[in-house]
Amino acid sequence: MRYFLILSYQGTAYKGWQIQRNAPSVQATIENGLSAILRSEIHITGAGRTDTGVHASYYVAHFDSDCIADEADFIYHLNSILPKDIAATEIKKVRDDAHARFDAIEREYTYRIVNRKDPFLREFSWQYYAMLDMQAMNEAAAHLLAFDDFTTFAKLNSANKTNICHVTHAQWERTDNGMTFVIRADRFLRNMVRAITGTLVEVGRGKMTPNEFRNIIAAKDLSLSGSSAPAQGLFLSNVKYPEEIFL
């Protein structure tokens, strides 16, 4: 039986989602917990990579097992083994060929900026004190929906098979203590959201116009993007799948 495991995690202590040699990862930590509970070696496949220090408020991974009798009891015992910065919230039965990465039809990232020093939010936001023009940032962000080649925001030497992504939503919203950027697409390149966010902040500071932002997307030149926003402000916040893969 194949399951989708719904997770959330704080990425501060990990070198990203994916297993790495001699470095802690979210994937390895969860696999160790699953293997201990199910008393067999369990491998999981995630919806995608998150980089070092990036968080997830909603993450999906799949694994196979024929040893789960009570799903609620399973989640309870898994959470008792997982560290405090990783939580399992639900498991869902899916088709045997369902794939957490390749069957995803939309992913959502949220980036949080806080406009004052707050020791309780320092690991979950970019504390940025300069005034930002949100109207200009949203005007620039709207241009993302007009393009599908995001080479400008691709990470150097990331060996992507393609830099094509279809962005369906990109908008900044005001919050009580700053602002939040929400972006949705069918897929994202490594470091793409942080590069876009950092460049949009340049627009907000008046260092770049919305039309200049459009031009650097069109240029397909990663040397033109601004500095990447810090990892701690970024969350994978949703992953959507076609209903027919669920049992």
The catalytic residue positions are: 51
**Distance of alpha carbon 90 from alpha carbon 82, whole angstroms:** 14
Residue 242 CA from chain centroid, whole number: 19
Tokens representing residue 244 in the block: 């027919």
Decide: residue 242, CB within 10 A, 0-12 exposed, 13-18 middle, 19+ buried.
exposed
**Distance of alpha carbon 147 from alpha carbon 136, whole angstroms:** 18
Return the DSSP state at 15: S
Angle of helix 26-38 relative to helix 71-81, nearest 10 degrees, comes to 120
